[in-house]
Structure 1
Amino acid sequence: MQQKAIALKYDYSSAPKVTAKGSGFLAEKIVSVAKENDVLLHQSPELVEMLSTLELGEEIPEALYLAVAEIIAFAHNIKNHQW
């Protein structure tokens, strides 16, 4: 199965938006850029499949708010409590 990656941006003023998406080589580049910029990576094949149906710049649907909010909260917790 080919690797897929989705990048989201959340600016606290609206729902998170898809800022990058791709599979194969493009997915590898998205992950590489995220790592280079110390962006937390979360692996969820099911969520990636759902998010991959969205267009670039599109807000996530309300049905995914809770799942994405939990990931954002987890990322903030890790960032604020680095050991």
Structure 2
Amino acid sequence: MKVKKAVALRYRQQVDAAPRVLAKGVEQVAQAIIDSAHQNHVPIWEDEKLVHSLLKLEIDDVIPEELYEPVAHILAYLFANERES
């Protein structure tokens, strides 16, 4: 059985130097993060390898440089879709 995992990131362009870990968890905590995202119309991106790396960080940690590229691709996609809506 696959273990449910989730990490929520926050990135404020004018405030944050890089995205930060806002919340993280497995199983029930992961489901709560996903449910909260749905309720607040926050987009969800699935990437098992990336979430595995992000789970190693602590809450409020800035993501490390080696994760800039994959997270930047996600943010670019989300920002483009946000402008279209």
TM-score range, shorter chain: over 0.9
Determine helix, strand or coil for the equivalent of 1:14: coil
Letter in 1 for 2:3: Q
Partner of 1:5: 6
Distance 2:66 2:34 in 1: 25
**Partner in structure 1 of residue 49 of structure 2:** 46
Q: Secondary structure at the match of 1:6?
A: strand
TM-score (norm 1): 0.95
Structure 1 regions of 5+ residues with no counterpart? none
The answer on 1:33 being equivalent to 2:36 is: yes
Q: TM-score, normalised by structure 2?
A: 0.93
Moved over 6 A (4+): none
Q: How many residues end up aligned between the 2 structures?
A: 82
Root-mean-square deviation (CA), in Å?
0.7
Residue aligning to 2:78: 75
